[in-house]
Amino acid sequence: MQNRSSFSKLLPVLFGFFIMGFVDVVGIATNYVKQDFALSDTLANLLPMMVFLWFAVFSVPTGLLMNSMGRKKTVILSMVITFVAMLVPLAAYKFEVVLVAFAALGIGNTILQVSLNPLLSNVVRGELLTSSLTWGQFIKAIASFLGPIIAGFAAAGLGNWKILFPIFACLTLISTLWLIFTTIDEEPAKGKTSSFAACLGLLKDPVILMFFLGIIAVVGIDVGLNITVPKFLMERCNILLDKAGFGTSLYFIARTSGTFVGAILLAKLAPRKFFIISMIAAIAGMLVMLAMNNIWAILVLIFIIGFAVANVFSIIFSAALQRLPGRANEISGLMIMGVAGGAIIPPLMGVVSDVMGQTGGLAVLLIAMGYLLFCAWRMKPNYKNL
């Protein structure tokens, strides 16, 4: 009975990761919005910036909010904001309105990512946390690769890619109600509530700082590939967006497969070794892909890269939580603040792409991958010290 009870609490929390994956629709949406409004790469890449900018603004305050509001209520708040964000583009399809909608999506997703990961730790504890976080990323990846497929089908078959928004809104509503009617026991925050400055002060710990910069790098890679892969395929292989969008779906299929395999392997293997092998494979795959012109070779390499980076976020996040378990809320806020890497790296890629083409934009990601390999090398098996 105890296992059945725990499982019934785990399911709505894990489904929350599916809602978390909606933020990745910004990748294919950026390509459709660029096409619909005839935008440059620099201007089009403002869309992911509007989404991920809010991770820098709201992440730490959300970590503090959880101390007084509780993790479950904070997750519910995030889903309400996400639900509203999905309805905004249906009101009027203008570039300014789309920016507002994705800003709201970014705010909701920021709050969700900060609060959902610690809420999972209330249901799953101990050594299974890394594996459970990876299962969450696996579910998130399912939503991520379904977004481009739904958009492509809606555009080609129904003449309107924006049909995905009401679909996502309905799923968000289901998730919200499921969590509301699920009882989850939370331990009250211990001691005095931390201040914003105290949370940022955690970056004085060199290990926490390394993990924070690692989150910036891995999210920058994820978002950068998400929005650039279709443009790279269009440039290299001379295909239309409806077909090039499959590259994004393939990337997320690879991430889904990678997180599924990772959830199993990380329950047995040392995360550090797994991390090192993953980054070597990702760097090698990127170098080869940038030299290719054949569409099938490029698609294979996209899959390899997506598979390789699939578990990096979970490994870093879990390591940070275990570094200072008594400050889990604040650490979660700080790490999710690093998701602002999605607002930092893609605009830089856009500027480079306008000058050097999509190959130059993707080459920027090699720097981030190199840093992650450095992080993997410096990480100790017990996460406690450099």
Query: What CATH number belongs to 2-183+194-378?
Result: 1.20.1250.20
| pLDDT tens per residue across all 386 residues of the chain | 445 556 677 888 888 999 998 887 877 788 788 888 887 777 777 787 788 788 888 877 887 788 788 888 999 999 999 999 999 988 888 888 888 898 999 999 989 988 888 888 777 765 566 667 778 877 887 887 787 778 777 777 777 788 888 889 999 999 999 999 887 877 665 544 556 677 778 888 888 999 999 999 998 898 888 888 888 888 888 887 767 777 877 888 898 888 788 878 877 778 888 999 999 999 999 999 999 888 999 999 999 999 999 889 888 988 887 787 777 767 877 887 887 787 788 888 888 888 888 888 888 999 999 999 999 988 866 544 44
| pLDDT of amino acid 45 | 73
Name every residue whose Cβ is closer than 8 Å to that of residue 369 and which is 6 or more positions away in sequence: 217, 221, 279, 282, 283, 286
* CA 106 and chain centroid, separation: 11
| pLDDT of amino acid 126 | 58
| pLDDT of amino acid 189 | 57
- Other C-beta atoms closer than 10 Å to the C-beta of 312 total 29
| pLDDT of amino acid 212 | 92
Contact between 107 and 58 under an 8 Å Cβ cutoff? The reply is: yes
- Other C-beta atoms closer than 10 Å to the C-beta of 166 total 13
| pLDDT of amino acid 299 | 92
| Cβ burial 119-133 (10 Å sphere, 16+ → b, else e) | bbbbbbeeeebbbbb
| pLDDT of amino acid 188 | 60
Query: d(Cα 66, Cα 322) in Å, to the nearest integer?
Result: 18
| pLDDT of amino acid 2 | 46
Closest CA to 184 of 339, 37, 73, 281: 73
Contact between 25 and 342 under an 8 Å Cβ cutoff? The reply is: no
Q: Where are the alpha helices (DSSP H) in 70-127?
A: 71-91, 95-123
Name every residue whose Cβ is closer than 8 Å to that of residue 267 and which is 6 or more positions away in sequence: 127, 128, 130, 131
- Other C-beta atoms closer than 10 Å to the C-beta of 233 total 25
Query: Rounded to 10 degrees, what is the CA torsion of 26, 28, 31, 32?
Result: -100
Query: d(Cα 222, Cα 305) in Å, to the nearest integer?
Result: 10
Query: d(Cα 198, Cα 204) in Å, to the nearest integer?
Result: 10
Query: d(Cα 276, Cα 217) in Å, to the nearest integer?
Result: 15
Output the CA–CA distances (angstroms, integers) from residue 96 to 21, 44, 223, 243, 331, in the order listed: 23, 12, 21, 27, 34
| pLDDT of amino acid 6 | 66
Closest CA to 353 of 290, 305, 285, 310: 290
